[in-house]
Amino acid sequence: MVSEYGMLSIDSNTRLYAVMGNPVGQSLSPVMHNAAFRQTGHNGVYVALHVTNLTEAVAGIRALNIRGCSVTIPHKVAVMDLLDHVDPVARNIGAVNTIVNEDGRLCGFNSDSPGAMAALLEKTPVARRRVAVIGAGGAARALAHGIAEHAGQLTVVNRSQDRGRRLAGELKCDFCPLVDFSGVGCDILINTTSVGMAPHTDQMPVAHACLRPGMTVMDIVYNPLETRLLSAAREAGCTVVDGVAMFVHQGAFQFERWTGKQAPIQLMKKTVLKALENKAGEKKNVRHD
Question: SS3 string of 55-121?
Answer: HHHHHHHHHHCCCEEEECCCCCCHHHHHCCEECHHHHHHCCCCEEEEECCEEEEECCHHHHHHHHHH
Q: What are the residue ranges of helices labelled H in the chain?
A: 29-40, 54-64, 88-93, 112-121, 138-149, 161-171, 228-235, 243-259, 265-284
Reported residue count of the chain is 289
For residue 58, pLDDT beyond 50: yes
**Average pLDDT for 112-141:** 95
d(CA 200, CA 242): 17
Q: What pLDDT digit, counting tens, does each position of 243-257 carry? A: 999 999 999 999 999
Q: How many CA atoms lie less than 13 Å away from 253 in the CB half-sphere? A: 21
Q: Are 85 and 104 in contact (CB under 8 A)?
A: no
For residue 162, pLDDT beyond 60: yes
**Average pLDDT for 271-283:** 86
| Residue-level pLDDT at 2 | 40
Please give the model's pTM, rounded to 2 decimal places: 0.88
d(CA 191, CA 162): 19
More confident residue, 228 or 283: 228
φ, ψ of residue 186 to 5 degrees: the values are: -95, 125
More confident residue, 139 or 266: 266
pLDDT band at 153 (very low <50, low <70, confident <90, very high): very high
| Residue-level pLDDT at 282 | 73
The whole-chain average pLDDT of the chain stands at 93
Q: Are 17 and 258 in contact (CB under 8 A)?
A: yes
For each of the domains in the chain, give its residue range(s) and CATH number, in order of start. 2-110+245-284 (3.40.50.10860), 114-241 (3.40.50.720)
Q: Are 193 and 205 in contact (CB under 8 A)?
A: yes
269 noted as active-site residue: no
* Least confident span in 6-10, 97-101, 228-232, 263-267: 6-10
Q: Quick check: helix, strand or coil at residue 199?
A: coil
| Residue-level pLDDT at 137 | 86
